[in-house]
Amino acid sequence: MSIEVHQERAAGVFSAVVDGERCVLEYRLAGATMTITHTGVPAAVGGRGIAGELMRAALAAARAEGWKIIPACSYARQYFDRHADQADLLA
């Protein structure tokens, strides 16, 4: 599935609208460290890999900016557990 993810940097959010439902990955930025605090996908559009797309967008932004990541939400922690090849981004 390919969705369009937008970064709202001032709000600390990556978001996508799928079938009218807003899906989000929220983060805080402190210096060069991004703390992912919440990933939310409404049940109506769940199970389609949307949270993974949000994570991939966040990781790509972190790489581009030279940021390290603290996965504070459970989904982000599980994502890093399943994608050991991304561990270099961990703070």
Q: Residue 75 is part of which domain span?
A: 6-89
**pLDDT tens digits for range 29-39:** 999 999 999 99
**pLDDT tens digits for range 59-87:** 999 999 999 999 999 999 999 999 999 99
- How far is Cα 41 from Cα 26, in angstroms, rounded to an integer? 12
Q: What is residue 1's predicted lDDT score, i.e. its pLDDT?
A: 60
Handedness of CA 55, 58, 63, 64 (dihedral sign): positive
Query: Taking all residues of the chain, what is their mean pLDDT, rounded to a whole number?
Result: 96
Structural domain count, the chain: 1
Residue 1 falls within a domain, yes or no?
A: no
**How many other CB atoms are found less than 10 A from the CB of residue 71?**
22
The contacts of residue 85 (CB under 8 Å, 6+ apart) are none
Q: What's the CATH code of the domain at 67?
A: 3.40.630.30
Residue 75 falls within a domain, yes or no?
A: yes
Q: What is residue 2's predicted lDDT score, i.e. its pLDDT?
A: 75
- Is pLDDT of 8 > 90? yes
**Predicted TM-score (pTM) of this structure:** 0.94
Residue 41 falls within a domain, yes or no?
A: yes
